Structure formats: structure tokens, C-alpha cells
Structure 1
Amino acid sequence: MAAKASFNWADPLLLDQQLTGDERAVRDAAASYCQEQLAPRVLEAFRHETTDAAIFREMGALGLLGATIPEQYGGAGLNYVCYGLIAREVERIDSGYRSMMSVQSSLVMVPIFEFGNEQTRRKYLPKLASGGWIGCFGLTEPNHGSDPGSMVSRARKVDGGYKLSGSKMWITNSPIADVFVVWAKDDEGAIRGFVLEKGWKGLTAPKIQGKVGLRASITGEVVMDEVFCPEENAFPEVRGLKGPFTCLNSARYGIAWGALGAAEDCWHRARQYTLDRKQFGKPLAANQLVQKKLADMQTEITLGLQGCLRLGRMKDEGTAAVEITSIMKRNSCGKALEIARTARDMLGGNGISDEFGVARHLVNLEVVNTYEGTHDVHALILGRAQTGISAF
């Protein structure tokens, strides 16, 4: 007779057992780095809105940047499940740190690998993979967020290349970036991708001040005033929104995993707090309302992680339609935000203090629920896929 199965409250569906040995090793290495190196820094970084650029080099040394990029270009050549597991561990500490990592990996390295010529790949990817160079991705404009196809940035053809003019807004990493992947319309009105470098004449990246969330990662604008981009730094073939959306789909996948990492941290903190905190002569965790909230958190995180794992396997098999990423990004971010709000409430007045961690996750997840496709835009993507009717 088989031994009675025991319930693992922290991993009810035994996600760990569904991973390969290599995947667990990657996860454990990422977790060790995050807990030992990132966790001690995050509170001061959040309080003072400071970004430590050394984090890129540290992540690069461990192979956490461009994890899915082939080794010949400096990447680790890992599968998508590994990339998701890395994102989960980084965002368990802070969404800003995961944003730094996923912009570098998915929004800068992926388009250079997918759309750049061989010269561009060999020039930029190894330096980005090592963290020696920092990258940013410029798509969103001051007046064009969910509607990037209406962008007004322009790339005018000139001898030997293009002259780029326009501005981009809410660009993670831009004030400290060495490499800028930007999107603009050419003379025919087609959206094209270009790789620019720090210091090129007419290119500036002022910092955006006063953010309430993602304070541990730096965000800025990208302002282009007749910036010359040589022909070899223009992506030669890709046209239209296929280019930027290929990168965004990869990043959104990482966000789906990452948001659940933040949710797990909120859940575990709320559980421990309500076990330790006594009111009316008993732990808060002895109250039915508290236990119900913990059960809801456990359920949503458990189901969400299974969905992320399945999506990762499908991406590795080449069977994942982009709409599945919309399901998981939307679900993970929305549920994680609800969990952070509930955890903040469970901690009472202490939940407002940044020392308890939950409020930081809360304001971060407000951002994560909005960027890289808002909660509602992903709903419309899924509605279009079901009905054949576009509502946007």
C-alpha cells in the first residue's frame, strides 16, 4: 500500500518535481544570488530611488542576462522555463530588479538576436550578456502607449543610414544605458528598429523623477534630435509591429512568472506575520477571515504557476500562440496585485511601512499590471481571438 501523500502548503502541486535537474539548478543559483546580494540592497534603493548599475555585471557573471540567447553570442542557451524561473526569483525581491533584467534580456538582446545582422549580433550581444553594457528599449511615446502603431518618431533616410527624431517615454534603464533599441517610422511609414549608442550626437536620456513604484530601477525618456544611425545598425528586414511585439511577448512571459514571485513573497510575509502577531489573546492566523485570505493567496499562486510552467513548456516546444502569454501576463499581474493589497491589509498599520516589504510590492505591482500591455488591453487581445472582432 502506498504511503499517504503529505501536503506541501508552499508548493501544493509540487512544481519543484515537474522541473528537470538543470532547471532546479538554475532556479537555485538565481535564488541564492537574489537572497544574498539583492535582498540586502532593496530597501535603501527603494527609499532613495537609486539604481546600482553593478547589478547588471553581477547578473551577467551568473548567466542571468539573455538566458535564452545562444552561448555563441554570450548567452546561457537556456530554455524558456529557466528564464521564467529566474524572473520569479528576481521579482520575489523586487519588480524593479526584474524589470532591469527582463528589459536587458527580452527587449534588447532578443531583437538584436532575432532581427539584427551578424555584425550587430557579435558587436552587442556578448557585452550585453556580460552586463558590461546596459540596454534599453524605446517603443512607448508620450502620447502613444497602448497604441504604438501611431508613433510619431521618424527615421529619415540619408546617405549611409538614417536620421532619427522623436521621443520615447517610460523607458527602463535609459538614463544609464549604453545601447538603445528604438522603433521609428521610415519614409514609407513602416515601423523599423534601430540600435543606437550612448554618446551619439542628438541622443539624450533624462531621468524621470518622482516615481511611486519601481523605485529601485531607473526610468527615463529617450530624446532623439536628428540622431544619425548607420545602415548596419538598422534591423534589415523586419517591418511593422511584429518586431517590437516579438520582444514584448518574450518579456511578458517573464513578467507572468515574476509577478507570481512578488505575490509569493507577499503571501509568505502575511502568513508569518499573522502567525507571530497576537491580538485578543491569540494569533491573527487563528481567525477564520485570515485563514480564508491565506487560502485564496495559496490557490491563485499555485494555479498561476502551473499555467506559467505549461506556457514555458509550450514556448520550448514552439507551440505557444501569443494569446497564451496574454492570458498568463494578465492573470499573474492582476492576481499578484490583489494578493499584495490583501497582504498589506493583513499587516494592518505595519503594512504601510516599507520595512515590512509588502507595500513596496504593492506599488510595484501597480506598475507591472500596467506596463507591457495593460490588464484591459490583454483582455481585448483575448476577446479579439475569441470573437474575431477587434475592439481596439
Structure 2
Amino acid sequence: MRARLVPAGARPAARGLNRMQHAKLIIANKLSDNQDCMNLMPRRATRETGVNRAWSEEHELLRRSLRDYVRDRVTPRVLAWEAAGEVPRSLFTDLADLGVLGLRLSPQYGGGGQDFWFTVVLLEELMRCGSIGVPVSVMAHAEFATLLIDRYGSPELRETYVRGAAQGRLIGALGVSEPDAGSDVAALRTRAVRDGDEYVINGSKLYISNGTIADYITLAVRTGGAGARGLSVIVVPADARGLRRQRLRKLGTHASDTAELFFDDCRVPAANLLGAENEGFGMIMSGFEGERLVLSVMACSHSRLMFEQARDWGHQRHAFGHPLLAFQVWQHRLADVLTRIEAAEALTLRGIELYLQGRAAQSEISMAKLFATETARFAASECAQLHGGLGYMEDCLMARLHRDALAMTIGAGSSEIMRELIARTNNLVAQ
């Protein structure tokens, strides 16, 4: 289904519509159930674009069940979760009961063993709730923290953590970023020293999603010398002695808790090491492509939601005796937003296709992440501007969407790093 600048049969709202009455409608976020404008697939799957066409009825069944769940159980609670600064544990158990919490985890440990398109569906439907913090918490748990354990952990670790994660009994976090090492993973300093059958960890991590609610942290540490070859990954139980956690206050994504972690002679069983010592850099980097595609999908869905909010408001809000969208300036500004969204979706779909084929796609995925997340920032600014003063009110959904959009150009590799990767992989760096 093609998104339309003016929906078929749409009529402007009555001129007497009270602005704050409409604000309440926006806050309620009552998206039409038959609008599939936010879906990357299958709306695009039938086009002659070379996009992977392995879309099945199973994906649509998942979409329908998730849409009902998000509408009935998530969206009405988002404001409470935003105020609390975290999602409840019941969100994870609910998603586990629906069979979607461990979509890409191994079936022998309770996962679904599904492809990335199922994750796309999950993301698109969770994004309908109007809070990026909700899918961020779910992805940080299931995709970022637990997939590494599933891929590289021992059978014992997988039995404990992968199965627990798929069932929603355990919540995971990925601990990589540090005060002096964000995008520069090879520079991280948190050190783990072998002491008998344990590792002793000292250091700190910063900006860790799920940091205060997690039951385990998939932690990047330095076990060897300087640089990438001295890194390892180890699973740290949240109740380990010597681990302290502190919640951070953020500008947006309030429903996802973010923390700073402190390790002071924190002792962890040596058996919790993933793979071999000093082989962690490759593990961490192998997860980045999936993380960046997750951010790309989220950004596309977020931009679509903001566009829909702005388009609806543009038809209903009157100025100088006419709807806002009677004025060419707003028609053209939203046309620019929609054009960028379409381009971002095309780049994202191309990245997913290459990712599923197992092909080298650092450049394409970096382009998708860069353009999709910067499109979200652009859409946020344009759509908030169309809302005028209402878009600056804390009780308006558009204000939250605007704030949340800012985070996506930072996480999983900043826009600056994406440009650097694109330049390096396309012979744009002179020697």
C-alpha cells in the first residue's frame, strides 16, 4: 500500500476544533489499524527492486498478533513507563508468551530460529506505541546482549542465559561503551584478569541500555594488550559482588533505562567467557551490522509515525481560514520529509537483503544507518515545526517523538563513524 500525501476520502476537521482537544487525540496515538504506512514489508516486497521476497504468511500472522498486543497492552501504558524511566518485566514475559522475544535465538534453547524479517515486523509494530524506549529495551535484551551468547557461548551458558532470555525470566544488557571509548571499541579499558577459575574485573561502562534492570551483562573487557587483539567478552551476572549500577537521566527515550556500571574487583566465573581469550573484538563487530539495521528500521518507522502525525494535524489545524496543508510551503516541506523516508527505506531494505545473504555489506548498512537516522532527525524537526506551539508542549506526542529521534544518530555507531566507514570502503581516503 502506497502512503498518500492526502488519504483517500480525507476531509479537513471542523474549524472549531480545540487545539488541546486535538492534543489529547495525538497523545492517545490512535493509529488506524488498516494503515500499513509504517511497514517496510510487505508494502515494498512486491516492487521490482531486487529486495528479498522471502515474505510469508507467518510474517503477517505475527504482525497482526503484535499489532493487537501493542494497541491493547503497550500504547495505553507508555506514559506510565516513560514516567517510571523503565519498562516493566511483564513486557518481556508477555513478548515471550507471544513467542517473539527470542525470534533469532536458537530453537534448542527456546528461541524461534527465525530470520531478520521477523525482527523487522517486531520493531515496526513496537514502534507504533510512540516510544522508542520500548523497542530499545527489547532489542538491547534479545538482539544485542543475548545473540552474542547464543553464537559464542558454551552449552552451559546458552542453557542458562539464552533460554532464560527467550522465556523472559532474565533480562540482558550489552556493555561495551566506556567514558573514553564509545565508537572506538579497540580503546576500551575495563580489564579482566584471570585468577584461578575466576576473572577479576575493574573499570566502568557508560550509556548501557537496560543497565539497571538487567539480570546479566554481556561485557566487553580487556584481557590482553592494547588494541583490538586484547579484547574478550564475558557474561557478568547482575548480582556479582563488586558490580554497582547507577541510572542516568536522559533527554529522551525515557522508557528505556540507561546506566553507568562500575566494576570494583568484580569476580566472575572463568566459564562465563565467550569463546577464547582475546577474540572478543570480532564478536563485538559481528553484532554491529545487525544493531545498525535495527536502528535503521526503527528510524524509518519513527519517521513514518511523525509524518502521519504531521499530515493529520496539517489537515485539521486551520490558520488564516484554511487548513495548514492548503499552503504550498507545508505541502512541499512534508513532501521533502516523505521523499527522504522513501529513500531511507530503500537503503534499509537493501542492507537487510545483503545481511541475510551473508554478503559483505559494511558500506550499504552504514549508508542505511546514516541516512535513516538523519532522516528521522530531519522529519522530527519539520513535523514538530508544523505543529507550532503544540509541538513544544510536553503533553503532545510530537514533543516525545522529536526528543527520541535525536538518539538514533548516536547509538550503534554515530553518523560521523558511518561516514568514515563509507569513505574507507569506497576508496575515498587519499594516501
Residue 399 of structure 2 is matched in structure 1 by 359
Residue 257 of structure 2 is matched in structure 1 by 218
- In 2, distance between residues paired with 1:252 and 1:91? 16
Residue 154 of structure 2 is matched in structure 1 by 117
- In 1, distance between residues paired with 2:333 and 2:111? 41
Residue 44 of structure 2 is matched in structure 1 by 15
CA drift of 1:240 comes to 4.4
Provide the TM-score with structure 2 as the length reference: 0.84
Across the aligned residues of Structure 1 and Structure 2, the Cα RMSD in angstroms comes to: 2.2
CA drift of 1:268 comes to 0.4
Q: Classify 1:390/1:262 alpha carbon distance in 2 versus 1 (closer, same or farther; 3 Å).
A: farther
- In 1, distance between residues paired with 2:352 and 2:66? 18
- In 1, distance between residues paired with 2:260 and 2:394? 27
- In 1, distance between residues paired with 2:414 and 2:142? 21
- In 2, distance between residues paired with 1:335 and 1:249? 19
> What amino acid is aligned across from residue 91 of structure 1 in structure 2?
M
| Larger deviation, residues 231-240 vs 332-341 | 231-240
Matching residue within 269, 282, 286 for 1:230: 269
- In 2, distance between residues paired with 1:42 and 1:247? 29
Residue 313 of structure 1 is matched in structure 2 by 353
> What amino acid is aligned across from residue 218 of structure 1 in structure 2?
D
Q: State whether residues 353 and 359 of structure 1, in contact with CA within 8 Å, keep that contact through their aligned partners in structure 2.
A: yes
Percent of pairs with identical residues: 23
> What amino acid is aligned across from residue 367 of structure 2 in structure 1?
I
Residue correspondence of structure 1 range 46-57 to structure 2 within 5 A: 46-57=82-93
CA drift of 1:340 comes to 1.0
Matching residue within 209, 215, 218 for 1:172: 209
Provide the TM-score with structure 1 as the length reference: 0.92
Residue correspondence of structure 1 range 296-307 to structure 2 within 5 A: 296-307=336-347
Matching residue within 102, 112, 118 for 1:82: 118
CA drift of 1:311 comes to 2.3
Q: State whether residues 334 and 382 of structure 2, in contact with CA within 8 Å, keep that contact through their aligned partners in structure 1.
A: no
- In 2, distance between residues paired with 1:369 and 1:340? 13
Residue correspondence of structure 1 range 160-309 to structure 2 within 5 A: 160-189=197-226, 190-208=230-248, 210-237=249-276, 239-309=279-349
- In 1, distance between residues paired with 2:280 and 2:330? 50
Question: Over residues 38-83 of structure 1, what are the superposed CA-to-partner deviations in whole Å (9 max), with x where a residue is unaligned?
Answer: 2112223324534323212222222332311122222122211221
CA drift of 1:212 comes to 1.2
- In 1, distance between residues paired with 2:98 and 2:340? 31
Q: Classify 1:309/1:63 alpha carbon distance in 2 versus 1 (closer, same or farther; 3 Å).
A: farther
What SS is found at the alignment partner of 2:264? Answer: strand
Unaligned runs of 5+ in 2: 5-36, 47-52
> What amino acid is aligned across from residue 229 of structure 1 in structure 2?
V
Matched, 1:65 2:101: yes
Aligned length: 385
Q: State whether residues 88 and 259 of structure 1, in contact with CA within 8 Å, keep that contact through their aligned partners in structure 2.
A: no
What SS is found at the alignment partner of 2:365? Answer: helix
- In 1, distance between residues paired with 2:425 and 2:133? 31
CA drift of 1:99 comes to 0.9
CA drift of 1:282 comes to 1.3
Q: State whether residues 139 and 183 of structure 1, in contact with CA within 8 Å, keep that contact through their aligned partners in structure 2.
A: yes
Matching residue within 22, 27, 43 for 2:79: 43
More helix by share: 1
CA drift of 1:104 comes to 0.8
What SS is found at the alignment partner of 1:42? Answer: helix
Question: Over residues 225-266 of structure 1, what are the superposed CA-to-partner deviations in whole Å (9 max), with x where a residue is unaligned?
Answer: 111121210012361421212222212111110111111110
Residue 3 of structure 1 is matched in structure 2 by none
Q: State whether residues 162 and 228 of structure 1, in contact with CA within 8 Å, keep that contact through their aligned partners in structure 2.
A: yes
Matched, 1:332 2:372: yes
CA drift of 1:131 comes to 1.5
Q: Classify 1:22/1:390 alpha carbon distance in 2 versus 1 (closer, same or farther; 3 Å).
A: farther
- In 2, distance between residues paired with 1:72 and 1:300? 42
